Structures are given as structure tokens and as C-alpha cells.
Amino acid sequence: MVNAKNVYSPYGYHLPSQGVLGFEGDRRDPVTGHYHLGNGYRAFNPSLMRFNSPDNLSPFDRGGFNAYAYCQGDPVNYQDPSGHSIWRMLASALQTPKRVETMTAVSREVKFTQLLGWHGTSRKELPSLLKGLSSGHSEVHRQAQGPGFYVAPSRDHAQKYADVHPDGIVLAVVASDDMSLVPGIGYKKDVFDVVVVREPAFDVVRVREEVPEGATRARLPRTGIFAKIPAPIR
């Protein structure tokens, strides 16, 4: 009996090998060098250390924030055989916890500098909106793209919805600067460039009374049947 050992980087890269089984026991595509996880559902690229296509459970579900990430950036302690969700390594889970020195966690302030557009509403809704988004802030008969939080492409457009209220106000809608909303999942956008932020992305979108200093306009492509119609450069 012949025993063979292969050495891999944490993300599965290794020198060309004649072995049938590769990283974590999966079959390696001999042409591309990729691993087709989940019975071909998604291709994992060990050289780029990420998947070649986004996870439809992202964003902000079991797929994680980064729709292309492998094991949410921790391939040492987790594996992802299905291409959908990570599993903790059995061996790691059974190990006796090691004594480590306590380190103070470093928190990073999340900045919201991607301007999605504007939202016209009543000032009495402001306290609720500042706590977080919800589909209920957009009236049902105005939800042309389905449930979600609607964002106008311009301040003038949003002003029309503010004007129906005696205490109308126009709010800036911004997204976290380190997040990319996935088309059709995190948001939808029609031919009039009206954006509806969907519930999976509510946690990374905020409203502000003024446009934050240093904010830049987010470039979101249109979705669905409008995807082939290019949006104008603003």
C-alpha cells in the first residue's frame, strides 16, 4: 500500500499533483484548477481564495456579508463543501481549548458614505427611521417593485412624496462604505432608477437628515428586466 501526502495552503492552493482527490477530499478540475463544490453549484478558486460566483444566500443571511468569500475568511476552522454555508471542522470542535492570552478587542466604527438616494416622508416618522429600516415605511399601494424601503434617485423626486405630508421631510439614504449590495437580493432598481432596498440589506442601510460629509453616489446597476438598460451617469 502506498501512502501519499499533499500540502495545501489554508485556501487549498498546492503544486500540480497527479492525485485524484484534492483539497478537503474534493475533486480538482484538471483544466481550471478549481473545485466544484455542492455538486457543481459553485466553483471555488484556490488561487484567488474565493468563489467565482456569488452565493444566493448572501447578503446578510447564512452566506455572509461577502457573497464571494470562502468560509467567511476562516478556512482553518471551517469548511464549505456545499458552497452555501460553512461547517466547523470536527477536529477543531473536539480539541481541548488552549490557554491563550486575553487581548482587548478593537472595534471599528462603521461609516455610511455610499449615497443611495433620497426618501420623502413625514417628520413624525424620523425617530423610527433613525432606529432602522422596515418595509412598513413605504405604503403598500406604492410598492411597485414589491416590499422594501423605497429610495428616490433625486432630492426633487423624493420631495413629491414629502409634500403630501404637512410636516414633510426629505432624508438621505446611505449604505455602509464596505458593503456591496447584491442585485435582486439586497436591492432592486427599475427603469426610473428608483431603488427598493430589500429586507436582507436593512442592517447596512441608514437614513440621515443631511448627506454625510465625504459621501459618494453609489453606482447600482438596474435589475430584472431593466438590467439591460444602462443607467445614466449622474
**38-80 pLDDT per residue, tens:** 655 677 667 666 666 666 554 444 445 555 565 555 555 666 6
| For the chain, domain boundaries | 23-94, 112-224
Position 44 scores a pLDDT of 67
**203-233 pLDDT per residue, tens:** 889 999 999 999 999 988 898 877 766 655 5
DSSP string, the chain: ---------TT--------SB-GGGPBBPTTT--EEHHHHTEEEETTTTEESS--TT-SSSTT-SSTTBSGGG-TTTEE-TTSSS-EE-HHHHHSPPPP------------EEEEEEEEEEEGGGHHHHHH---GGGS-GGG-TT-SSEEEBSSHHHHHHHHTTSTTEEEEEEEEETT--PPBTTTEEE-TT--EEE-GGGGGGEEEESSPPTT-EE------GGGTTSPPPP-
